[in-house]
Amino acid sequence: MPDWSYHTFFKPALFKLTPRKARSLTLQTMNRLVTLPFGHHIIEFFGHMAPSKAISAHICGVETASPIGVSGQVDPKLEGTRALSKLGFGYLEVGPISLEPATKQEIVLHKKGEEIGYSHLHENLGVENTIDALSRSAPDIPVLIKISDESTGKIVTLIKKLEPFADWFVVDSTIDLPAIREATSTPIFVGVSDQKQLDEVEIEDFDGIYLPEGVHNRIGQFELETKIEMIKTVQPSGKPIIASGGVHQPSDALDLIDAGADLVNIHSGFIFYGPGLPKRINEAIAYRYQESPLNQKGWFASFLMGFGVLLAGFIASFVGLTDVLLAPDERFLGMSKEEIQEFSEHLFKFMSHDRISLAGVMISAGFLYMMLAYFGIRVGQHWARKVFYIAATLGFLNFFYFIGFGYLDPIHLLYNALILPFFIYGFIQTRNMPHGSHGQNLHNSRAWRKSQFGQTMFIILGGAFLTAGMVISFIGVTDVFVKEDLGFLQLEPNEIHEHNHQFISLIAHDRAGFGGALISAGILIMLIAMWGFREGEKWIWWTLTVGGIPGFAAGIGIHYHIGYVDQYHLAPAYFAILLYLLGVIYSYSYLMTAKRSPE
């Protein structure tokens, strides 16, 4: 899954298990998730892994969404084929495959040196079990199948059996290539370790060159520099090159591509730096192809919708600090604000508390919408559009809470009617925005590592707001008050109802509206943090930092202003501020890094 969850939660736990157990647990769990209804959507939701169309590759007549693949050593038992195909890889390597199952390999994880040692590199299920596994759990990306070193006859048999599942084959340079070439029309890559091995085969007998990631009985991978020199050595053949191994950070993959590799497999980097590595590499490649900032049609309508939310928040804040009630509220109650104050000053202050809290969240949400529209949607960032319209849709839907509490607020209705056209126009105009994203992160720097924690804090904060909004919305249309509210009011619900039977509905309207606003704000914060964290994206840091201030200031400040200072009641808000501050501090150096120019 994404970097923030892998490095913060899963990697520390998995690295306490044996390598084999950790590998099986991870791959089997992810594969089961993919097989569930909407399971692949869950992976996409959390990881947003799909690569930009700008980086697709065409190799020997086969199109891949990305030039980045995953080594067959990551999943020799084919336990996670469908899951791996959802992580942003352009293709999946399988094998090497032999006729009979190969014995289990011993795996040694060298954590300090970030290397993986194997007793041998030929563990596999055997051809029949491989066919069964690929038939049951076929990946939806191209498949590169490596054939184990055996006799020519056995290799021909393997190829014929596996041909329905293979987009390319890899065979050893020491075998009878002409005989293999005659046995299949599927492109054949020949595995070579140096120019001498390449010189021993005829160019017309193969379609591409495969540079292996390691050697038998040797711990670790070829050094990256060695792999780059190998690429330069075999490049004069003019054939496509697949370079396997040695990639631990996006810059490693770019170095191999710059040297002449057409496809790049990752292996140990995937284990040590997580399933987010292919996404980071894809975004680094896409960064090179990014065009000048666009003025995406429809962005300004989205911006104006956000401005409408912001403006309504300021108006609601002014009302909450002054009159508290509007004319439609007084007509609904059949009472003036002076009569309410005469009945209970605490009740009047409590209504002010609800409305100011709502206003603060609206100001924060409006600011987040505006920033997403200007810095994200305007320049064609598909993820920003997705965040905007998911949150805004939920915001509009909370209008229907009135069914639960029975008060159709005409001001709320007018507000929705005014901003809805901007929402619809922006949604329609941006509906064909291309998928994929780009980023400039190249290195596993200290700032990048710290940002994983900061990103996690923001995601938890957004999730906390989302959960709180759901709870408050539910309370708003059911019980309306919590124990601490009644303690401040010094009234029981039946006393309020007996004084005016419309009171509860009006307060429920405010409570449910506040809960609905929190849901939208929580989605905004959570998804901006989940999908928008990229090195040098200063606007993300400013958006989350500035956007949090109005909500916190209003939500906590109004409690002290009216004297509703129950520390148990305020504890969740204090915890939210802690998450916010940790997110701001730990993400600063990564997000505020100066951007480099595309190479």
* pLDDT tens for the 599 residues of the chain, in order: 688 888 888 888 988 888 889 989 999 988 888 888 887 778 878 877 888 888 999 999 999 999 999 999 899 999 999 888 888 999 999 989 999 988 877 888 777 777 787 777 788 899 999 999 999 888 889 999 999 867 888 899 999 999 999 999 999 877 788 888 888 999 999 988 777 888 888 888 889 999 987 643 333 445 788 888 888 888 888 899 999 888 999 999 999 999 999 999 998 889 999 889 999 999 999 988 876 567 788 999 999 999 999 999 999 999 988 888 888 888 888 888 888 888 989 999 998 999 999 999 999 999 999 999 999 999 889 999 999 999 999 999 888 877 777 778 788 889 989 999 999 999 999 988 887 788 888 999 999 999 999 999 999 999 999 999 999 988 888 888 888 888 998 888 888 888 888 888 888 888 888 999 999 999 999 999 999 999 999 999 999 999 999 999 999 999 999 999 989 989 999 999 999 999 999 999 999 986 665 55
Is the N-terminal amide bond of 96 cis, ω within 30° of 0?
Answer: yes
Q: How is residue 28 written in tokens?
A: 């089997």
- The helix/strand/coil state of 63 is strand
- The helix/strand/coil state of 77 is coil
Q: Tell me the whole-structure pTM to 2 decimals.
A: 0.89
Which one-letter DSSP state was computed for residue 35? Answer: H
Helical packing angle, 345-371 and 382-397, nearest 10°: 150
| Residue environment code for 30-52, b if the CB has 16+ CB neighbours within 10 A, otherwise e | bbebbeeeebbeebeeebbbbbb
Q: How is residue 546 written in tokens?
A: 């500035």
Let me know the angle formed at the C-alpha of 561 by 558 and 567, rounded to the nearest 5 degrees.
75
Structural domains present in the chain: 3-289 (3.20.20.70), 299-432+444-591 (no CATH)
Let me know the angle formed at the C-alpha of 40 by 35 and 43, rounded to the nearest 5 degrees.
125
Q: How is residue 509 written in tokens?
A: 């309207």
Check: CB of residue 403 under 8 Å from CB of residue 325. no
Beta carbons within 8 Å of 233's beta carbon, 6+ residues apart: 194, 195, 198
- On the CB side of 268, CA atoms within 13 Å amount to 25
Check: CB of residue 349 under 8 Å from CB of residue 375. no
- Gap between the Cα atoms of 377 and 425, Å rounded: 13
Maximum CA extent, the chain:
99
* Residue bearing tokens 């905007």: 388
Encoded amino acid at 232, one letter: K
Query: CB neighbours (10 Å) of residue 596?
Result: 11
Q: How is residue 420 written in tokens?
A: 């809805």
pLDDT in the model for residue 216? 35
